[in-house]
Amino acid sequence: MLRGYFALLFPLILFSMACMDDEAWYDLNVSIQPQADTAQTDTLQYRKPIGVFITHEGNFMYDNASLSYYDIEQKQVYNHVFYNVNHLPLGDVAQSMSLHDSLGYIVVNNSGKIYVINVYNYQYVGKITGLVSPRYIHFISDTKAYVSDLYAKSIAIVNPKTLEVTGSISVDNHNPSFYQHATEQMVAFGRYVFTNCWSYDDKILVIDTEADRLVDSLTVLKQPNSMVLDKYNKLWVACDGGHQGSAYGYDTPGLVKIDAETRTIEKIFSFDLEDGVSELCSNGTGDTLFFLNRHVYRHAVVSESAPEVLIESSYEPGYTGGFYGLGVDPATSEIYIADAQDYIQRGVVYRYSSRGKLIDEFSVGIAPGSFCFKLARQ
> How many percent of the chain have pLDDT more than 90?
81
Mean pLDDT of 110-115: 98
> Which range has the worst mean pLDDT, 25-34, 53-62, 136-145?
25-34
The mean pLDDT value for 353-375 works out to 96
pLDDT (0 to 100) of residue 16? 35
Largest CA distance in the chain: 57
Spatial CA neighbour of 249 closest among 221, 226, 278, 291: 221
Q: Angle at the Cα of 330 (from 73 to 224), degrees rounded to 5?
A: 130
Q: What is the pLDDT of residues 72-101, one digit of tens each?
A: 999 999 999 999 999 999 999 999 999 999
Q: Is a pLDDT exceeding 80 seen at residue 11? A: no
Q: Which helix (H) or strand (E) holds 239?
A: strand 234-239
pLDDT at position 37: 32
Report the Cα 77 to chain-centroid distance in Å.
19
Total-model pTM: 0.87
pLDDT of 106 > 60? The answer is yes
Name the more confident of 318 and 5: 318
Mean pLDDT of all residues in 361-365: 98
Query: Does position 372 have pLDDT exceeding 90, yes or no?
Result: yes
Q: Which pLDDT belongs to residue 32?
A: 36
pLDDT over 70, % of the chain = 87
Domain ranges (residues) in the chain: 9-374
DSSP letter for each residue of 276-288? --EEEEE-TTSSE
Looking at 7-11, 183-187, 221-225, which range is the least confident one? 7-11
**pLDDT averaged over every residue in the chain:** 88
What is the predicted pLDDT for the residue at 6? 39
- Under CATH, what is the fold of the domain 9-374? Methylamine Dehydrogenase; Chain H (2.130.10)
9 vs 366, residue with greater confidence: 366
Q: What pLDDT does 377 receive?
A: 60
Is residue 41 scored above 90 in pLDDT? no
Q: What is the pLDDT of residue 378?
A: 52
Would the pLDDT of 369 be above 80?
yes
pLDDT over 70 (residue 209): yes
Spatial separation of the C-alpha atoms in residues 328 and 61, rounded to whole Å = 29
pLDDT at 8 exceeding the cut of 80: no
Q: Is the pLDDT of residue 15 over 70?
A: no
Contact indicator for 134, 145 with CB cutoff of 8 Å:
no
Which tops the pLDDT comparison, 19 or 327? 327
Note the pLDDT of residue 318.
82
- Across the range 144-153, mean pLDDT stands at 97
Buried b (16+ CB within 10 A) or exposed e, 68-96: bbbebeeeebbbbbbbbbeeebbbbbbbb
- pLDDT category of residue 185 using cuts at 50, 70 and 90: very high
Distance CA 336, CA 198 (A): 23
pLDDT band at 308 (very low <50, low <70, confident <90, very high): very high
298 has pLDDT over 50? yes
Whether residue 18 is predicted with pLDDT greater than 50 in this model: the reply is no
- For the chain, the C-alpha Rg in angstroms (whole number) is 20
H-only helix segments in the chain:
9-14, 41-44, 81-86
What does the DSSP 8-state code read for residue 250? B
Check whether 69 has a pLDDT greater than 70.
yes
String of DSSP letters for 289-357: EEEEESEEEEEETT--SPPEEEE---SPTT-SSSEEEEEE-TTT--EEEEE-TTSSSEEEEEEE-TTS-
Name, in order, each residue with C-beta under 8 angstroms of 146's C-beta and a sequence gap of 6 or more. 137, 138, 140, 155, 156, 157, 158, 169, 186, 193, 195, 207, 209
Instruction: Inform me whether the pLDDT recorded for 9 exceeds 70.
Output: no
